Amino acid sequence: MKNIGIAVTDPADWTGIALYNSITRSGMKALTFSFGEATSNISSGKLYAGKTDLTDLTDLTDLTDLTALDAIIVRDLGPAARNDISFRFDILCQLEELGIKVINSPVSIARSANKYVSSYMFRKNGIATPETLATNCLEEALFSLASFGRAVVKPVFGYKGIGVECVKNDETGRHKLKGLLEKNGLVYIQEFIPNPGRDIRVFVVNNRVMGSIYRIAPQGGWINNLSQGGIARSCKLTCEQEKLSLKASKVIGTTFAGVDIIEGDRPYVIEINGTPSGKGIFEACGVDVTTGITEYLLDLIW
């Protein structure tokens, strides 16, 4: 029997549970673990995760030996400080070097998690994306804001819409932009694309669209993320939107991804998520995206 690890932080996470059930139904054994409880014993070469309050860490009975897994599906790496997130990523790379299949690959997770890198790769490969500037120079940031008139400022490494700000080229907006630069040392700033008050989340698995939803901002808000109170509604993609989503996933190298599109004068890819939730797609479309991930995994390891 193949042993499949699911890296998930929240034991109640919908996608983690759905992955567990899909893998179990397929005849494989699913084991969940958190990178928040990961250990690398460099001397022995052991990489494991599980309880961290054991008095005897040489007893691995209650821990998951990551090197004994046939494959790992990364639902999330979990919130972490700078050194910690690097450590978790390094473990993924080590596991991949040992021949364990890691989905998504560490490289694609790194590319999708870094908005600067993903935006650069979109533009390089002819994928329409908003005009974007990343800088630690205040003058350049203010000049860019003046050029855009209205802009969206995001953390380069961010998730769930946390820390995203919309700023206008006025005194308040310029002051806010300056404060963000002083706080973070860098600003990632995109032109604001006038839109119908929604964006589109496309869930791609193995170069196939499994489902797509409109994410509609709550009343009085403008951030569409479901984790920020956005509402999911089923969406029928145009041919152009579908091609754009598939190309974005291919360029970043993800096996499964959530591709976010904004509807402006044409569709623009604004972000890609390499560890996306499938809950919104299921609730709005009735599609369990984890079945597609499991099917891909079966073909990969058998």
Structure tokens that stand for 191 in this block = 């032109």
**All residues at 6 or more sequence positions from 79 whose CB lies less than 8 Å from its CB, including other chains:** 9
Q: Please choose, from the candidates 146, 193, 189, 141, the residue with its C-alpha nearest in 3D space to the C-alpha of residue 169.
A: 146
Both 32 and 79 in one domain: the answer is yes
- Would you say residue 122 lies in a domain? no
**All residues at 6 or more sequence positions from 27 whose CB lies less than 8 Å from its CB, including other chains:** 1
Both 8 and 92 in one domain: the answer is yes
Tens digits of residue pLDDT in 50-94: 643 333 434 444 678 999 999 999 999 887 666 688 899 999 999
Structure tokens that stand for 103 in this block = 């989905």
- Would you say residue 302 lies in a domain? no
Both 47 and 63 in one domain: the answer is yes
- Would you say residue 124 lies in a domain? no
Q: Mean pLDDT throughout 249-276?
A: 96
- Whether the CA torsion 265, 270, 276, 277 is positive or negative: it is negative
- Would you say residue 90 lies in a domain? yes
**All residues at 6 or more sequence positions from 121 whose CB lies less than 8 Å from its CB, including other chains:** 111, 251, 252
Both 172 and 214 in one domain: the answer is no
CATH number at residue 67: 3.40.50.20
Q: What is the pTM of this model?
A: 0.90
Min mean pLDDT across 140-144, 179-183, 249-253 is at 179-183
Tens digits of residue pLDDT in 209-218: 999 999 987 7
Q: What is the pLDDT of residue 191?
A: 95
CATH number at residue 234: 3.30.470.20
- Whether the CA torsion 250, 254, 256, 261 is positive or negative: it is negative
- Would you say residue 120 lies in a domain? no
CATH number at residue 152: 3.30.1490.20
- Would you say residue 117 lies in a domain? no
Q: Mean pLDDT throughout 151-163?
A: 81
- Would you say residue 176 lies in a domain? yes
Residue that terminates a domain, selected from 107, 124, 147: 107
Both 171 and 245 in one domain: the answer is no
Question: Over 50: is that where the pLDDT of 27 sits?
Answer: yes
Both 259 and 166 in one domain: the answer is no
**CA dist., res. 4 & res. 30, Å (int):** 5
Domain that holds residue 202: 195-288
Both 182 and 158 in one domain: the answer is yes
Phi, psi of 34 (to 5 degrees): -120, 135
Number of structural domains found in the chain: 3
Q: Between these two residues, 206 and 51, which has the higher pLDDT value?
A: 206
Both 166 and 211 in one domain: the answer is no
- Would you say residue 297 lies in a domain? no
